[in-house]
Amino acid sequence: MELRKKLLSLTSNNTVAELNQMLNSTHVNISWWGSRLVSVDGYEGSVEINALALKYLSATPFQRDTESSLQDRLTCACLWGRVQQLYTDSEVALTNTLVYKHLVPMKEFRPYCRACAGDPMAIIGGWEFGARKDSLFEFTPAEFKRLWPGAEPQGGSWVMGGGKSSERWIASEEMIEAALRV
């Protein structure tokens, strides 16, 4: 099966599990033009690394007001690091190419700024998806109190877009792990 078609076929419900499995056998190659292309053993072809990251960021645990299980949220947070690692592992190979040194500065305007270069894992700090790794550990106050009675939000709390109904409390990764052990 072609890798691009496989990524397109993933539903939001199985994205995290499937990508987690696929990342066990990924390879990042640098194209002549300085693009990072990801290939996966068992699939034909390759996709740009940003396509893989965007698919990951569309996963169910990142979507607000879903009933993602605590284990899904924890697995998605672990996968976050693995997707980030694809970018950092290929950084040295990318910066060592002649094309990168001479052409990429013109192509990407500011090659040393990953967000400016279109890296979705760098721009998610706010705008495009409204998702951050911490988003995985956000709960409504009612959910938070049900899961951790008497505990205080570890990462603080915030209100998105105005009203109290959109208030989010943030748990720590340790709180999630402790709740799963019970």
Q: Is the dihedral of CA 121, 123, 124, 125 positive or negative?
A: positive
Distances (CA, A) of 147 to 73, 107, 139, 179: 14, 48, 10, 7
Which tens digits make up the pLDDT trace of 82-102? Answer: 888 887 777 777 677 766 666
Which tens digits make up the pLDDT trace of 99-129? Answer: 666 655 554 444 445 555 566 666 544 434 4
pLDDT of residue 45: 95
Tokens of residue 73, six digits: 């949220």
Residue indicated by tokens 């002549």:
32
Model-level pTM greater than 0.75?
Answer: no
